[in-house]
Every structure is written in C-alpha cells, then in structure tokens.
Structure 1
Amino acid sequence: MTTDAPTRRDRAAALDAADPLARFRSAFVGSDEVTAYLDGNSLGRPTRASAERLARFATDAWGARLIRGWDEEWYELPLRLGDRVGEVALGAAPGQTFVGDSTTVILYKLVRAALSSPRVAGRDEIVLDSGNFPTDRFVLEGVAREHGATLRWISPDHDGGVTPAQVSALLSERTALVVLSHVAYRSGYVSDAAEITRRAHDAGALALWDLCHSAGAVPVELDAWGADLAAGCTYKYLNGGPGSPAFGYVRADLQGELVQPIQGWMGSDRPFEMGPAYAPHAGVRRFLSGTPAIVGMLAMQDMLDLVGEAGLGAVRAKSVALTRFALELVDDLLVPLGVRVASPRDDERRGSHVTVDHDAFADTLPLLWERGVIPDFRRPNGLRLGLSPLSTSFDEVRLGVEAVRDALVEVTGRDAA
C-alpha cells in the first residue's frame, strides 16, 4: 500500500534528524534552481571552500607567484595529492598514487604498462566485462588490437555485476590482466575485489580496478586487496569539478618493472634538465606524462578534507542508509507504475546509487530537469539516483522520488498508486 505524503515527510525528517553527518551539508554550494540533486555519482556539488580556493588561486598563487609556483608547490602537487587520495579514499600507502590525465588516458597507460610486465610475459588474454563503462571497453579493444591480445568477455546480470566465479571461469595460463570496475556504473553492484584479485593472482595474472564509482563513497582497500593497478575519476564523490583529473595507482613493488607508453617530460628522472633522452623517474612519478592540470586539482582537496573528517566508514553508512531509503520510496511509489529496480537490494553489494528502469524515463527526464530534480539517465531506459552521502539529505531523496512518480504519471497517463 502506498504510504501517504505526510508519513513520507515524517520518515525523511526523522532520518535527517538522526543523521550524524547532517552538518556536512552546509559545506556545499547550493542552488535555488535545484530541488533535489540525485546525480552526485556523475558530478559532485562544489564545496564552499573550493569556491573560495579557486578565486584565491587566480589572484594569489597564479597571479602573484606566477611561474615560481612550479618550484613552490605545483611540481609536487600530483604526487602530494595522490598520496592524499590514497590515504582518504583508496586504502593506499604513500608513493603509489598520482593525479593527472583523464581516466581514459590513465587506463590506457596502466593497461599498456601491465602488459609490459615480465610477470605476464607470454600471456595474451585480458578478462573484462560487457557491462563496464564504454571507456574501459573501448580502451581495451584498442590495446588488444595493438598487442594482438584476445579479450575474454564476462556478461554480468543486468541488475548485478561481476562475481569471482565468473572471473575464475575465464582465467587460464594465458590470462595477462583482469580489468573490472569495483562498482558497476549502471547497476551499482559492488564486486568482491579482494577475492577476484586473489583469484587473478593465483592464475598468474595482474588485476586493474576502475574505482570511478567507489572513490569517496565506498570503502576501498587497494593495499589490503593486493591490487596491482587502479584508476578512477575525481569529479563524482570526490567533487573535483567538471573534468577534474583522474588518479592512478601502481603498487610499489611493480613500479620499477612497468614501462608506461606515454613518455613525457613530467615523468622523467630529471624533468627540468630537458635532457636529450628519456629516462623514467624511479617512483610513481614515472606514470605522469605532460604538464599536469593544476587548476583542475584544486577543488578535490577540500572534499578530501571533508571525507577525511567524516571518516569513510561513516560516509559508507550514510550511503547505505540513503540508498535503502530510496529503494523504500521506489517500491512504494514507482514499482506500482511498472518501474523495475535494476540495482542490488543487498546493502553489501550496492554502491551509492540506485538504478530503476522504465521505457518512459527518456521522456520523463526533461520534465524532471525543468522542475529542478536532477537524476541521471542511462540508455536504453535506466534512471540512476546517485546519492552523494555528505551533500544529500533524506528529504531531498523523498522529494526527488516523488517528483519522478509525478512526471512518470504525466508522461504515461497512468494513475498514481
């Protein structure tokens, strides 16, 4: 039976009143145009501190210090910030994470580097899944053509993701690399990264994890997993802003044996000597290429501070509570209209977004945006409710799902339950 609106409001208000992270919502820039922002898994809200930092940078760091900024801070920023990302969001010790380039470019570099490792010499197969984000699939298709490698495809369930058993079924003495997303971009399924990594290693292969939908919302323990490589963006739950540079992780003991394919001056052993030949830096800096996007690295610093202050465990608990409440509302208001849940219902296996499917959602989205409700649409029929734990309230989720119900009724002509 459908819960009445006052009861839903009371339920959301009670959850917000009991939320130990509620105080963090005031740290973000709001908008009078937006009633419910449910797309934090695509682009996080800016923090107020970042808005101030960006303004100060133009006048103080860039305007006043000018080229001196490279010696004073900017040269070290990709590695200093990488260590901070590793500490707060990745479970990675210092010296293994860098920030720079897009996710696509970093994935390409790390995949090519992995295939150069003597640990996988003579192996020519890459395990991946057909449900992964297009970037991952497209990059791997291109690398496979370059190397004459064979792609071995896993086909996950529509509302699930890749399991250890599915990976094991494709592993062999020919497997060089396993490339998967920790959290599936469409369904939000959280894979058992530790177990999949273990099985890849037992087969003699390397494992590379895409952490785009994990970092900052779902606990990641790269060192504890024994992960070899990882990459992820910083504009989702790390709130770095549109197109902020991605991060890459290379386990310490692998760094000296991997050859990255895009050799640039910033990754050389003596960048400012402009020498006649390239020699790689001894550490993780070797995976940098060209001049880093310093301005793009500014905003994420403040979000990392917020996540560090809140603690990733508490952030994850809020994420689970938000998505659980969203599912309650979806079952109550949307399922009776023919909507299908396309995300795991098991809290442990669900990331920080909930996907629901309906053939009318493509027509529904423009109405929602006009009304200040911003979810995300993924073809052919998926609406993603991306809930960024520190900036999203339970009442915002209520307002958003109620608006989806109203728009869907309008588009389809069906009566609300």
Structure 2
Amino acid sequence: MSEPTATPHTDLSIRAAELDAADELFKLRERFALPEGVVYLDGNSLGALPAAVPGRVADVVSREWGELLIRSWDESGWWTAPERIGDLIAPLVGAAPGRIVVGDSTSVNLFKALVGAARLVAARGGAESGAESGGEPRTELLVDATTFPTDGYIAASAARMTGLTVVPVEPAELPAALGPRTAVVLVNHVDYRSGRLHDLPGLTAAVRAAGALAVWDLCHSAGALPVGLDAHGVDLAVGCTYKYLNGGPGSPAYLYIAERHQAAFDSPLPGWNSHAEPFAMSPGYVPADGALRGRVGTPDILSMLALEAALGVWDGVDVEAVRAKSLALTDFFLECVEAYVPAGRVESVTPAAHAERGSQVALRTDDAAAVMKELIARGVIGDFRHPDVLRFGFTPLYVGFADAERAARTLAGILAA
C-alpha cells in the first residue's frame, strides 16, 4: 500500500509546530492572559493583557490609593512615574536613560514635539535658520503623506502656531524634497495601513544634513523591532504604549527628546509638572532640566502604573530576537497564505523585503470588511482598514507559528466558500 500524500496543510502545520518548539521566545506567551482558542493578530491596535497587570492595578487602587491616599505621591513613587517608566521604554527604542518622559496621548506629545522642533530651529540663528544669514527662511514642515490622519491634523495645527507651511511628501521622495526652506520633518516609522518600514537611519541623516529636525512617530515599531533613536541621531520622537508595548487601552504615550536638545526645548504646553520647582507655585514658568520639561499636568496614575507593570514582560528580552521572530512569523504567514488561499483572491500590500517590513501583514481583498468579521467569528482576530485591507499584526512575545498557520488556513476557508 502506498503512503498517503501529504497536503500543504499537513506539511505547514507540522512545520509550524517545529518552529514553535525551537522558538526561544515561545515561553513568553505565559506572561500574557490570552483567551483560549483565539488567535490574536491585532496587537498592532491593542496589545494583549500582561498577566501581572490586574494584580498590580488592584494594589494601586485598594492599597496605594485606598489606604495610603495622598501619601502615595511620595511613598509609592507616583510623582516620579513619568520619567521612571520612560527609562523602562528607553532600551526598547534605543535611548539612554533620561531621554523619555511618559504621559498624555500620542497626539498631545506630537504637538509638543512639532512645535518644540520649530522653536528649536527658529532659535538657532545664524546660517542654520536661513533668513538671518541672508539665506531662505525655513518655512516648511514636511509631513509623511501616508501618515495616520491625526498626525496630519496635529501637524497642520502646529504649523499654524509656528508660521510654517505643511508640505505633504511621500517618504520615498523625502530626500529630494529637503532643502533650505525645510524646518521640521515628520515621518511614521511604519505605515499603519501597509506595514511598510521606512528608513529611519537614512532619512534622519538626510534631514539633519539639510539643517532641519526630524520627528518620528514610533507607534507601529516600538516593541516590534529595534529603533536606535540615540544611535541614529533622531531629534524628537513620540509613540503610544498600547500596541506592541501592551500597556492597555488608552495607556499614556511618551516623548523622546535627544539630550542635545533638552536644554533648549521649549514646550508649547508648559504645565506645573514640568516646572523646575512645581510646588513653589510661582507665577513665572521655569522649565525643569532634561526630558522632564515634556511633562504637563498631573500624571494619569492608574493607567501609568498599569503600563509599568505591563512593561515587565520585557524582562530579559532581546529586541533583536523579537525582530528576528517577527520577520520569520510574517514570512511564514505569507507562505501559508500563498499555499492555502485560492489564487487571485488576495494581494499583499506589505513589502516582501525584510528591510521594508514592519511587524504586520496587510492583504487586499474584495469584501474585506465581511471577511474580517467572519475571521473574528471563527476565532482569528485581525482588523479591517477601509476600503479593502485585512490587517494582521504579529506580536512576537505571544504570537506563534501555529497561530500564523491557523490564521491563513481560516482565511482560505472563508475565501474558498
């Protein structure tokens, strides 16, 4: 009797099990509270719940707030949470301690960064600012034309406040668009729709060579791949913490200010929390030293400390290993999609080249909204982006190769039907 012929499903499911067994990060899944039977591929919208968070939040509410009351600002370290948690995020994005402060939303931090960058450029004087030395004035704020819409809204408001003109530019065309009029450049590290990874080192170098300042949005890269803010000379950066950093819905964002800019950084939102002597209650504003001048008002302690507990999942984790697994996962998922899905039913809009890929796969298909709804009903959670994109985020700390295989197989079953 002849041996039964193996199917692509059999071969790929066996490979998935072997890859999971050899994966050095697979055990990290235990650090998360994931529902049974669910493949969660939407961590690029909302990260999964770290197992340590519920207990920590309960302690903050019942003991630190309920028993210690206002004493917790000192005794429980509430007051220093924004910079302390910033130092936990710093190694995940390649920053030294003292360069990141946590608080507010990404949008608020982006507003601080863009206005602050424009003021830094204006304050330089001499040849770098253009007009003062007889050159052209720096009047342009170049904005990633593919940016998340809110970034564009904030950029437009920041431009009105600082007298700049917004110039939308495709990231690939950015080097050619730079010139003596460029003041500030805003770019997303990873395109939220397609998962395309933009060249942070190269674009930052080009911006700085043009005499401008670079502001990067790290929402879709921090926690998924190495960023290298210090090493690559980034001026300012912002990011959320509820995606790959798993901080929880609406968890506070962060602001990175390069050390060389901290002494001159002039925030457009000077609050009492960023005052050099916050409890002096003086009528005149004197900014604190360092990245602390990025603080504004009273920190949102409950979500702040939930984030701190969530960041514990990164203990002992190498971001380079996370990146290697991310690429392997997305490669394997695309291989499974090609093997299972009927020809012509989906088109990947995520770059095939590793150097251009974040940690997600975006597939274009007809009736994408209905397809995603059915995927979720079958226990595979991704998300839909208008008008025709299925988006799957791969968080290497808790997503495995068997998850990728099951997601592709489930998608194929829906499209075949």
- Class of the TM-score when normalised by the shorter of the 2 chains: over 0.9
Q: Distance in 2 between matches of 1:4 and 1:110?
A: 50
Does structure 2 conserve the Cα–Cα contact (< 8 Å) formed by 1:152 and 1:170? Answer: no
Shift of 1:3: 5.1
Deviation at 1:27, TM superposition (A): 1.1
Corresponding residue for residue 61 of structure 2: 58
Instruction: For 1:148-297, list aligned pairs within 5 A.
Output: 148-155=163-170, 162-163=171-172, 166-297=173-304
Report what 2:87 is aligned to. 83
Q: Deviations over 1:341-371 (max 9, x none)?
A: 0001112221110111012111112222222
Residues 361 and 408, structure 1, Cα contact 8 Å, conserved in 2: no
Greater CA drift, 331-340 or 166-175: 331-340
**Other-structure match for 2:336:** 329
Contact 1:307 1:315 in 2 (8 A): no
* Contact 2:247 2:311 (C-alpha < 8 Å) held by counterparts: no
* Residue in structure 2 matching 1:123, options 132, 138, 141: 138
Structure 2 partner of 1:147: 162
What residue is the counterpart of 1:110 in the other structure?
113
Amino acid at match of 1:68: R
What is the deviation of 1:146? Answer: 3.0
1:48 match: secondary structure? coil
Counterpart in the other structure of 1:350:
357
Task: Indicate yes or no: 2:25 matched with 1:21.
Answer: yes
Q: Which residue of 1 aligns with 2:318?
A: 311
CA distance in 2, matches of 1:335, 1:210: 37
1:98 partnered with 2:101: yes
SS of 2:408's partner is helix
**Is there any run of 5+ residues in structure 2 with no aligned partner, and where?**
1-5, 130-136
Structure 1 residue runs of 5 or longer lacking an equivalent are 156-161, 411-417
* CA–CA distance in structure 2, aligned partners of residues 401 and 36 of structure 1: 11
- 1:5 Cα deviation after fit: 2.1
Q: Is 1:48 equivalent to 2:51 in the alignment? A: yes
1:37 matched residue in structure 2 = 40
- Paired residues of 2:345 and 2:415 also in contact (CA < 8 A): no
Please tell me whether the aligned partners of residues 216 and 307 of structure 1 are also in contact (alpha carbons under 8 angstroms).
no
The answer to whether the Cα contact below 8 Å between 1:25 and 1:392 also exists between their aligned partners in 2 is: yes
1:15 is aligned with what amino acid?
L
The structural deviation recorded for 1:335 is: 6.0
2:395 to 388, 392, 396: 388
Partner Cα distance (1:335, 1:185) in 2: 26
Aligned to 2:3: none
State how far apart, in whole Å, the 2-side matches of 1:227 and 1:128 are.
Answer: 16
Distance 2:68 2:158 in 1: 42
User: How much has 1:377 moved relative to structure 2?
Assistant: 1.0
1:363-378 equivalences in 2 (<5 Å): 363-378=370-385
Verify the 8 A CA contact 1:126 1:178 in the aligned structure 2: yes
The Cα of 1:35 is off from its aligned counterpart by 2.1
| CA displacement at 1:305 relative to structure 2 | 3.0
Deviation at 1:306, TM superposition (A): 2.6
In structure 2, C-alpha distance between the alignment counterparts of 1:51 and 1:315, rounded to whole Å? 25
Q: Distance in 1 between matches of 2:262 and 2:389?
A: 40
Structure 1 CA distance for aligned equivalents of residues 90 and 207 of structure 2: 23
Q: Structure 1 residue aligned with 2:407, among 379, 400, 413?
A: 400
Question: Is the contact between residue 214 and residue 351 of structure 1 (CA under 8 Å) also seen in structure 2?
Answer: yes
Q: Secondary structure at the match of 1:309?
A: coil
- Residue 206 of structure 1 deviates from its aligned partner by 0.3
The one-letter amino acid paired with 1:323 is: T
1:337 deviates by: 4.2
The Cα shift of 1:151 comes to 1.9
Kept in 2: contact 1:360–1:408 (CA 8 A):
no
Shift of 1:307: 2.3
CA distance in 2, matches of 1:294, 1:407: 44
Query: C-alpha root-mean-square deviation of aligned residues, in Å?
Result: 1.6
Q: Aligned to 2:198, what secondary structure does the other structure show?
A: coil
| Structure 1 position 333, deviation (Å) | 2.4
Query: Does the Cα contact within 8 Å between 1:240 and 1:298 map onto a contact in 2?
Result: no
Contact 2:194 2:350 in 1 (8 A): yes
8 Å Cα contact 1:334/1:405 also seen in 2: yes
Contact 2:237 2:257 (C-alpha < 8 Å) held by counterparts: yes
User: What amino acid does structure 2 have at the position aligned with 1:234?
Assistant: T
Distance 1:307 1:3 in 2: 38
TM-superposed CA distance for 1:147, in Å, is 3.0
Change (3 A) 1:271 1:3: farther
C-alpha displacement of 1:331 = 1.6
SS of aligned partner of 1:142: helix
Quote the offset at 1:20 in angstroms.
0.9
With normalisation by structure 2, the TM-score equals 0.92
